[in-house]
């Protein structure tokens, strides 16, 4: 009889100079230098607890049971997809119970996205990878499949860690340069896939793949579970567009730009159709004053964008605490980000769910946000003052932060 594996909460801060079993006896520093964004890495026994339990005849199972995962598939609160591979078909959840295949049925896979937002075990696993910047970390996807289930040979444009949590999965990978796709299919499947390496992963094993490595995973057992930690790779166009958009919004707060163009030195012209040179010169001076040629001008908007939660994130607001009651609650309980909240820092400035939450705030509130950004927790006993309204209280009332007993 197996029991569920319980992922531990990692230490804070992470020991990035020490060797980790998760990375095959390498430190995060060594992994990033040698493998990140460069070449694949297979790690046997990345989670040693699985092999230790197996040796003691008490095998471990996934932290999230098959029954629980299939309940999530039926819920509108979890983004899910069902893939059949013979022939290829794709349908989006939530699924009804009758549409969910039996575990022993062949050639199907269910993908559940953003599981860190709906189950604490997935959130703990995701937190293991915070040796990579939060701005790059995306989410944790779980695939559960019947024998032969998979999504076909494909490639991703982002880095991914593939952790085997239940059953076995056969991975085929190739560093081929031909990434052309088969036409007229509901999934992006490679037209010409030639495997160069084949590995069977058992529970506790992990495979890291950098972007554009062709790969195919095929479930070998009923109820095969693979947990995928994925990373964001926005285009430069996307980042600069979002930075420019937020910069344009911020111009509303600059009074000197509200004045109107004036040209008392304008001469008579015989080229009335041309944009006036005087207008061009004055705009050039304004742009130089705004320092638009410097990256620091754009970074606040880009950081705000990267801190935005996913579009499907839902926060339930509350208005149950006064500033004094909020401070009192904080003296007793930890304050944590909601699982779907994103917090990023730019120097001393902290952004939460797209908002600058440290601007014009008292030093104690700014320091609280820095701790939430760095440690993803504000420990009980932190003193913020009992009278003033703050962005911390407002974030709690918006459902972005929540109290917990840990």
| CATH label of the domain that carries residue 392 | 3.40.366.30
Residue 311 lies in a domain: no
Q: 134 and 65 share a domain?
A: yes
**Is residue 232 within 8 Å of residue 135, measured between CB atoms?**
yes
Q: 332 and 199 share a domain?
A: no
Residue 397 lies in a domain: yes
Name 173's bridge partners.
Answer: 197, 215
Output phi, psi for 9, to 5 deg. -80, 130
- The number of beta carbons lying within 10 Å of the beta carbon of residue 8 is 11
Q: Which whole number is the average pLDDT over 292-304? A: 88
Q: 75 and 139 share a domain?
A: yes
Percent of the chain with pLDDT over 70: 99
Domain count, the chain: 3
Tell me the per-residue pLDDT of 326-345, one tens digit each, with 9 for 90 and over: 999 998 999 999 999 999 99
Residue 80, pLDDT > 50, answer yes
Residue 99 lies in a domain: yes
**Element spanning 290, H or E:** helix 277-290
Tell me the per-residue pLDDT of 242-273, one tens digit each, with 9 for 90 and over: 988 888 888 887 777 778 888 888 888 888 88
Tell me the Ramachandran region of residue 24: left when phi exceeds 0, alpha when psi lies from -120 to 50, beta otherwise.
left
Residue 318 lies in a domain: no
Residue 313 lies in a domain: no
Which structural domain, as residue segments, surrounds residue 350? 323-404
Q: 186 and 333 share a domain?
A: no
Residue 265 lies in a domain: no
What is the bridge-based pairing of β-strands 343-346 and 401-404? unpaired
Q: 243 and 221 share a domain?
A: no
Q: 295 and 334 share a domain?
A: no
Q: Which whole number is the average pLDDT over 237-246? A: 90
Q: 186 and 243 share a domain?
A: no
Mean pLDDT score of the chain, rounded to an integer?
93
Q: 213 and 122 share a domain?
A: yes
Of 281, 306, 331, the position where a domain reaches its end is: 306
Model's pTM, two decimal places?
0.90
Nearest 10 degrees: CA dihedral of 30, 21, 168, 112? -70
Tell me the per-residue pLDDT of 89-145, one tens digit each, with 9 for 90 and over: 999 989 999 999 999 999 999 999 999 999 999 999 999 999 999 999 999 999 999
Band the pLDDT of 387: cuts 50, 70, 90: low
Q: 283 and 197 share a domain?
A: no
Q: 208 and 255 share a domain?
A: no
Q: 54 and 149 share a domain?
A: yes
Band the pLDDT of 406: cuts 50, 70, 90: very low
Q: 284 and 152 share a domain?
A: no
Tell me the per-residue pLDDT of 147-199, one tens digit each, with 9 for 90 and over: 999 999 999 999 999 999 999 999 999 999 999 999 989 999 999 999 999 99
Residue 126 lies in a domain: yes
Residue 15, pLDDT > 60, answer yes
């Amino acid at each position: 009889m197996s029991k569920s594996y319980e992922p531990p909460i990692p230490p804070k801060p992470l020991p990035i100079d020490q060797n980790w079993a998760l990375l095959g006896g390498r430190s995060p520093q060594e992994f990033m230098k040698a493998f990140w964004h460069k070449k694949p890495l297979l790690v046997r026994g990345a989670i040693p607890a699985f092999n230790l339990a197996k040796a003691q005849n008490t095998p471990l199972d996934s932290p999230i049971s098959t029954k629980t995962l299939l309940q999530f598939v039926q819920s509108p609160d979890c983004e899910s997809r069902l893939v059949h591979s013979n022939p290829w078909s794709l349908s989006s959840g939530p699924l009804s119970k009758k549409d969910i295949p039996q575990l022993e049925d062949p050639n199907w896979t269910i993908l559940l996205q953003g599981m860190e937002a709906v189950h604490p075990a997935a959130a703990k696993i995701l937190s293991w990878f915070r040796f990579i910047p939060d701005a790059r970390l995306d989410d944790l996807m779980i695939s559960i499949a019947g024998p032969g289930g998979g999504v076909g040979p494909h490639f991703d444009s982002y880095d991914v860690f593939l952790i085997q949590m239940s059953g076995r999965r056969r991975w085929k990978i190739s560093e081929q340069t031909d990434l052309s796709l088969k036409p007229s299919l509901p999934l992006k499947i490679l037209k010409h896939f030639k495997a160069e390496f084949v590995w069977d992963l058992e529970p506790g094993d992990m495979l890291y793949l950098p972007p554009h490595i062709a790969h195919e995973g095929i479930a070998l057992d009923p109820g095969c579970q693979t947990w995928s930690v994925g990373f964001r790779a926005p285009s430069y166009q996307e980042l600069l567009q979002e930075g420019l958009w937020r910069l344009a919004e911020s111009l509303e707060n600059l009074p000197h730009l509200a004045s109107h163009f004036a040209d008392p030195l304008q001469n008579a012209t015989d080229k009335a159709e041309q944009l006036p040179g005087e207008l061009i010169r004055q705009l050039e001076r304004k742009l130089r004053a705004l320092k638009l040629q410097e990256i620091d001008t754009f970074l606040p908007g880009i950081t705000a964008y990267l801190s935005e939660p996913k579009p499907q994130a839902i926060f339930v607001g509350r208005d149950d605490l006064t500033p004094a009651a909020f401070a009192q609650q904080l003296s007793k309980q930890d304050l944590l980000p909601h699982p779907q909240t994103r917090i990023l820092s730019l120097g001393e400035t902290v952004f939460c769910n797209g908002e600058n939450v440290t601007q014009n705030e008292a030093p104690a509130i700014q320091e609280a946000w820095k701790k939430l950004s760095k440690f993803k927790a504000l420990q009980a006993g932190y003193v913020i003052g009992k009278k003033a309204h703050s962005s911390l209280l407002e974030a709690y009332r918006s459902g972005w932060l929540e109290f917990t007993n840990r």
